Structure 1
Amino acid sequence: MELLIKKLNILVTLMLQISSVIFAQSIENKDSLELVVILHRHGHRTPTHTYKNDPYKDEDKYWPIGLDQLTNKGKMQMYNLGKLFREEYKTFISSYSVKAVQVNSTNYKRSHMSAQCLLAGWFPPSGSEIWNEQLIWQPIPIHSVPIDKDQTLALRAPCPRFWCERQNVLMHIADNETPEDKKLFKYLTTKSGENISTIDDLATLYSTLKKEELNGLTLPDWTINVFPHKMQRLADLCANSFTWNEILKRFFSGPLIKETLFQLKEKSEGRNKDKKLFIYTVHELVLFSFLRTLNFENIKYGEFGAAIVLELHRIHHRYFVKLLYSHSAGVAPYELTIPQCSTPCSLDKILSNTEYYRSVDWDKQCFE
């Protein structure tokens, strides 16, 4: 009996190894691919805000395209990202089809323009799709909802419970400020001319300085002592505060996790048979929070063009999810091991692991 058990164990191990190899080969060749869901950040942009003592606050002089707008560099980043995905999924989806592709974006100009540029790189028209020989481009619909009603991508729809909980977290963080933190707030207030007394204030100023630097401008001398190193930790705390605990994760990332996994589940159950690709154009905090809620630790904060990719694979009548991540435009997405889930991760397992977040009822629970 003992010998038989050993032989059975060896046989099971061998079968698992063979299945693993078959699975890996199938995924690599895209043979088993059923659906792709992409979440990506917009491209390089101008600052959203300037500050009182900002040497670059003259919008006409320094920001002629406007504040918070996609730059030419950002357009090219998105176009190249589209080309990268076109090459990666050329055997899965080679041309645009209204039945196969759906694109959703937050209702910001930079987001819509980013989605347009990405689509231009991914789906250049060919054959009968060409409607203008002088313009090798085709229009593709992009869906969005008003910012103040967006519960899923921009997360700006009213939710008193979320903001009340986050305020409690901010008070906790403020109670634990060090003398150095207080000194930094005072220094930034004096130099910027703005009231910098919270991590939200600091994060806004940090973002402005970073965008100005990324746009090739020389920052004022006073920033040398604090940017980015001394400001970075508190700016990171601000980002973390949106998903500080389970309640905040549920409201801030739950709706998007619910939306993306819903598409995978629908496909696995035989609905949306024609759909092959969902694209969501969002923002860095949304991507970062999505991964934090899935229990990824020490993940890089997404730069321009960062992307999360969820692939749904069907192997031997079972469905598995492969998750990939790129922290910056131009960096090919690489696979991540989904926490609390074996590799490969079954769709059933990831659905089970995220049930708490996906069960959020925004319209009801936000106002309880």
Structure 2
Amino acid sequence: MSAASNLAGLYYPTNESTIWKKNLPWDPIPIHTIPYKDIAVIYPENICPKFEELYNSTLYSSYFKNVLQKHEAITTFIEKKTGWNIEELGYFETLYTVFYIYNMHNSSYLPEWADQIDMSELNYLAGLHFSIGTFTTEMQRLKIGPFFNNLHNYFDGIINGTNPKFLMISAHDETIASVLNSYGVYDYHLPEFAETIIWELYKSANDDVYLRIYNKKCKDFKELDVKQCQHQCSYDKYLEMMQSISVDSNQWKTECKGSV
């Protein structure tokens, strides 16, 4: 659906004869998909037992138990109103997403107790849940490493002149959070609908290649300072910085089978 929406904007029909339906300015563009099991680039956890073990141990670790204790008031209130027994942060993500959609489309669905919740606190706890999958370097490698490897290979192809200069990848909010957290710039708030990460690759007059990375939200657009790479980041320095996370699919499969 995200890919369809993006394509509808990029290929907005200008000729009435191509409009698919009256009063619907849309020119259908084919979207090709492959099975989940083959999407190691943006859905690696589907077939990575080691990641699942690491994720579950982190989800119920003392660190995140302490987070629940620190936010005991909101946790107890939500449990009382929903009947949930909140043992991990995923409950906050579910509740925040439901409230967000109701507010956007039909606020009459919101329960009367919704306005008693600090939504910024709820958003933080929901966003923190999205950080768990990339909580450590090892988890980043297993969760989002194949994505970075694929992206960097594509950059190399652009530099070598073998790849087109534009690539668009449509994924989920969790993918956005995973990339931002691996870069060390995640603000622990759930990614917004249509939030985007933009990579721009440049070559200077003396053939030095550098990278600029941006994060676009609905009402905010900013350049990211990724870890030790500030502003115009040397591409070689960037690759060196990401070496511990980026992993090709064969090595990833090997590491996924290893013991925790």
Q: 1:237 offset after TM fit, Å?
A: 2.5
TM-score when normalising by structure 1: 0.60
- Preserved contact between residue 148 and residue 156 of structure 1 (Cα < 8 Å): no
Task: Give the AA of the match of 1:280.
Answer: I
Which AA in structure 2 matches 1:324?
A: Y
Aligned partner of 2:149 in structure 1 is 258
Deviation, 1:349, is 1.4
Give the CA deviation at 1:238.
1.1
Offset of residue 236 of structure 1: 2.9
One-letter code aligned to 1:352: E
Q: How does 1:288-367 map to 2 (within 5 A)?
A: 288-296=177-185, 298=187, 301-315=190-204, 316-328=206-218, 331=220, 333-359=221-247, 361-367=251-257
Taking the aligned partners of 1:120 and 1:230, their CA distance within structure 2 comes to: 35
CA distance in 1, matches of 2:244, 2:32: 27
Structure 1 unaligned residues grouped into runs of 5+: 1-112
Deviation at 1:150, TM superposition (A): 2.5
Structure 1 pair 190/260, CA: closer, same or farther in 2 (3 Å)? same
Residues 189 and 196 in structure 1, CA contact (< 8 A), matched pair in contact too: yes
Distance 1:134 1:257, change over 3 A: closer
Alignment RMSD (CA, Å): 2.8
Per the normalisation by structure 2, the TM-score is: 0.82
Number of equivalent positions: 249
Alpha-carbon offset, residue 125 of structure 1: 5.7
- CA gap of 1:350–1:299, structure 2 versus 1, over 3 A, is farther
- Deviation of 1:208 after TM superposition, in Å, equals 1.7
Partner Cα separation in structure 1 for residue 18 and residue 123 of structure 2? 49
- Report the Cα offset of residue 143 of structure 1: 3.5
The 1:290–1:134 alpha-carbon spacing in structure 2 relative to 1, beyond 3 Å, is: closer
Q: How far apart are residue 322 of structure 1 and its match?
A: 1.6
CA contact (8 A) 1:151 1:362 kept: no
The residue type paired with residue 191 of structure 2 is G
Q: Which residue does the alignment assign to 1:269?
A: 160
Determine the structure 1 residue equivalent to 2:111. 220
Q: Match of 1:160?
A: 49
1:241 lines up with 2:129 in the alignment: no
Name structure 2 gaps, 5 residues minimum. Answer: none
Bigger CA radius of gyration = 1
Alignment of 1:67-78 (within 5 A): none
SS in 2 for 1:320: strand
Q: Which moved more, 1:220-229 or 1:343-352?
A: 220-229
How far did residue 324 of structure 1 move?
A: 1.6
- Greater helix content: 2
Instruction: Return closer, same or farther for 1:222/1:125 CA change in 2, 3 Å cut-off.
Output: closer
Q: Quote the Cα distance in structure 2 between the aligned partners of 1:245 and 1:156.
A: 15
Identity %: 23
CA positional deviation for 1:280: 0.8
- Higher relative CO (Cα under 8 Å, sequence separation at least 6) belongs to 1
